Amino acid sequence: MRILVTGAAGMLGLDLSAAAAEAGHDVRALPRAELDIADPQAVEAAVASVNPDVIVNCAAWTDVDGAEAAYEDALLVNGAGAGSVARAAAGCGAWVVHVSSDYVFDGLKTSPYLESDLVGPVSAYGRSKLAGEEAVAAAAPQTHTIVRSSWLFGAGGPCFPKTIMRLAAEREVLRVVDDQLGCPTFTGHLAGALLSLGEHRVPGVVHVAGGGQCSWFQFARTIVEAAEIDCSVEPCTTADFPRPAPRPAYSVLRTERGTEVPLLPDWQDGLAAFMSALVGTS
């Protein structure tokens, strides 16, 4: 299977490209420096040149707070750019797998979000990701998988565990938000699921995230313990650390699609795999 990966220099793109190559697929990995999905002509030309069977769109504007002040820029990538990728895929008969986010929900539920739940983003970033879902569905109505995931972390780029380990090594005490709940998702695990969804051409919206749930505080405390860093991690509230973009208070994702959607290992297993990957790259 010939697979085109956009956003291939990001932590998910790197893990996906590696997993696809290891599985024996013909992989064309295009980082933003080689393909800016905000340029529809460039997207069309790249897709026509590669002629893939599956496109996995990992390219995204990921600056959640920055999107509040630069929504049009975020929308150009996460919305129109996603649509351009899907349109080009449909034009050459390829299946498109698009990576979306838990931020399309408002976070007001107290039980896991399912694919059928109503969306209602509370941030500019979330609105841009929802626009991408809508653009993909419109451009490739019969040939797309939209994968909502959450709290991504991986060895190949900046992420929450790396930040926590750096700060814990510099400080005696860390205060971390304890009133936001989600599903930390290791990109090394998500990559395999994205490949499976593309191979089997699973249609529509699916939720794929790390098993279990925790708060950012619980995640941070486990990271510091795993790294064996002498630092006290203490809980605080979202109000203690206001940010430009509001975050969903609850964004646990689960699937109602049954066995056609891969289930990922628990987030603790993802963290263990992440730590092992860090050792392997150091």
pLDDT of the residue at 110? 95
pLDDT of 282 over the 60 cut: no
Q: Which residue, 126, 117, 131, 136, is CA-closest to 252?
A: 117
What average pLDDT does the segment 233-247 reach? Answer: 95
The pLDDT of residue 281 is above 70: no
Tens-place pLDDT, residues 102-117: 999 999 999 999 999 9
Helix, coil or strand: residue 176: strand
Taking only the tens place, the pLDDT of each residue in 131-179 is 999 999 999 999 999 999 999 999 999 999 999 999 999 999 999 999 9
Average pLDDT, integer, range 191-219: 98
- Indicate if 125 belongs to the active site: yes
How many beta carbons lie within 10 A of that of residue 269, not counting itself? 15
> pLDDT tens across 69-88, in order?
999 999 999 999 999 999 99
Residue-wise pLDDT tens digits, 32-69: 999 999 999 999 999 999 999 999 999 999 999 999 99
* 227, 230, 236, 240 alpha-carbon torsion, rounded to 10°: -100
**Nearest-angstrom CA–CA distance, 58 and 169:** 31
Q: What confidence score (pLDDT) does residue 280 get?
A: 65
Res. 1: pLDDT tops 60: yes
Is 192's pLDDT higher than 90?
Answer: yes
Q: How far is CA 124 from the centre of its chain?
A: 16
Q: Which tens digits make up the pLDDT trace of 10-33?
A: 999 999 999 999 999 999 999 999
Q: What average pLDDT does this structure show over 211-216? A: 98
* Triad 211, 18, 257: Cα angle to 5°: 35
For the chain, state the CA radius of gyration: 18
Residue in 71, 103, 113, 125 annotated catalytic: 125
Distance CA 64, CA 123 (A): 8
Token look-up 């841009």 returns: 128
Measured distance CA(220)–CA(26) in Å, rounded: 38
Is the predicted pLDDT of residue 208 greater than 70, yes or no?
yes
Q: How confident is the model at residue 279 (pLDDT cuts 50, 70, 90)?
A: confident
| Distance of alpha carbon 44 from alpha carbon 92, whole angstroms | 10
CATH 3.60.21.10 fits 2-150+186-210+253-265, yes or no: no
pTM: 0.96
Distance between CA 273 and CA 258 in Å, rounded?
26
